[in-house]
């Protein structure tokens, strides 16, 4: 184990940003009182997001998209269960069946990663740990998603009103804000604090700064003096 901590102190999104900045490869395992999730990273990019109890299952997505029939899916799962190697990824098993094109599987896996990351946005209790397995996990289909892009897309979906399909028990808003140092305005609380879930706290920093940047900090790209002082140039 390389890194461990509490989600209440360091959100899942914050940890992902840290690991991506150092181009880490390994497994980010997240646990709360009810569920366990795993984010697979390679060179700082997301290979897959696994939430076993999620509603966003690969087989169901392929059926919903019309790429696979429910009957064929059941046959594939049953045949996989009878094999000695029962830990083979479902995407690989489906590909070997020849019933679904590799491009359709890859597309469903990418969308699954986005949807499962959205599910993780309301995980505010529990622990995380980052480990590097002795044998790396290789995915035959990998979206290889940039972490910043993943978090920006998740924040966009949250801002448009999409919410995780499974609610989490959370403390009252007063208790949630009591230990927070974000010093949010009432405008931020009205928009991002819903049903005891603080979406602002889990939102990537670059998104938060873009949403509520003071007007005096706005700049034009042709303003050389202001651009020169930016920390990332």
| pLDDT at residue 139, rounded to an integer | 77
Q: Are 155 and 204 in contact (CB under 8 A)?
A: yes
pLDDT tens per residue across all 233 residues of the chain:
579 999 888 889 999 999 999 999 999 999 987 788 999 999 999 998 988 777 678 888 899 889 999 999 998 888 877 776 556 777 878 888 889 988 888 888 899 899 999 989 888 888 999 999 888 777 777 888 999 999 999 989 988 888 888 766 555 555 567 656 667 777 777 777 765 567 666 665 555 555 555 444 444 444 444 444 444 43
| pLDDT at residue 1, rounded to an integer | 58
Q: What is the length of the chain? A: 233
End-to-end CA distance of the chain: 34
Distance CA 68, CA 59 (A): 8
Domain ranges of the chain: 3-66+109-216
Which residue is associated with the tokens 């599987």? 105
| pLDDT at residue 124, rounded to an integer | 82
| pLDDT at residue 55, rounded to an integer | 67
Buried b (16+ CB within 10 A) or exposed e, 73-106: beebeeebeeeeeeeebbbebbbeeeebeeebbb
pTM score, whole prediction: 0.66
Backbone angles phi, psi at 149, to 5 degrees: -65, -40
């Amino acid at each position: 184990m390389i890194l461990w901590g509490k989600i209440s102190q360091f959100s899942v999104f914050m940890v992902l940003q840290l690991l991506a900045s150092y181009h880490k490869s390994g497994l980010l395992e997240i646990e709360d009182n009810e569920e366990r999730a795993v984010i697979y990273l390679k060179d700082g990019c997301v290979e897959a997001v696994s939430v076993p109890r999620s509603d966003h299952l690969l087989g169901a997505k392929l059926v919903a998209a019309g790429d696979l029939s429910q009957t064929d899916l059941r046959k594939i799962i049953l045949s996989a269960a009878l094999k000695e190697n029962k830990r083979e990824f479902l995407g690989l098993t489906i590909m070997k069946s020849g019933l679904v094109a590799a491009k359709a599987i890859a597309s469903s896996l990418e969308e699954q990663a986005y949807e499962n990351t959205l599910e993780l946005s309301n995980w505010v209790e529990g622990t995380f740990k980052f480990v590097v397995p002795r044998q790396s996990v290789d995915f035959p289909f990998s979206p290889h998603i940039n972490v910043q892009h993943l978090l920006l897309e998740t924040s966009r979906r949250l801002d448009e009103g999409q919410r995780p399909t499974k609610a989490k028990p959370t403390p009252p808003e007063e208790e949630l804000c009591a230990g927070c140092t974000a010093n949010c305005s009432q405008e931020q609380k009205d928009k991002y604090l819903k049903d005891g879930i603080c979406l602002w706290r889990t939102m990537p920093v670059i998104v938060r700064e873009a949403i509520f940047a003071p007007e005096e900090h706005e700049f034009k790209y042709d303003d050389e003096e202001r651009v020169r002082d930016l920390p990332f140039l």
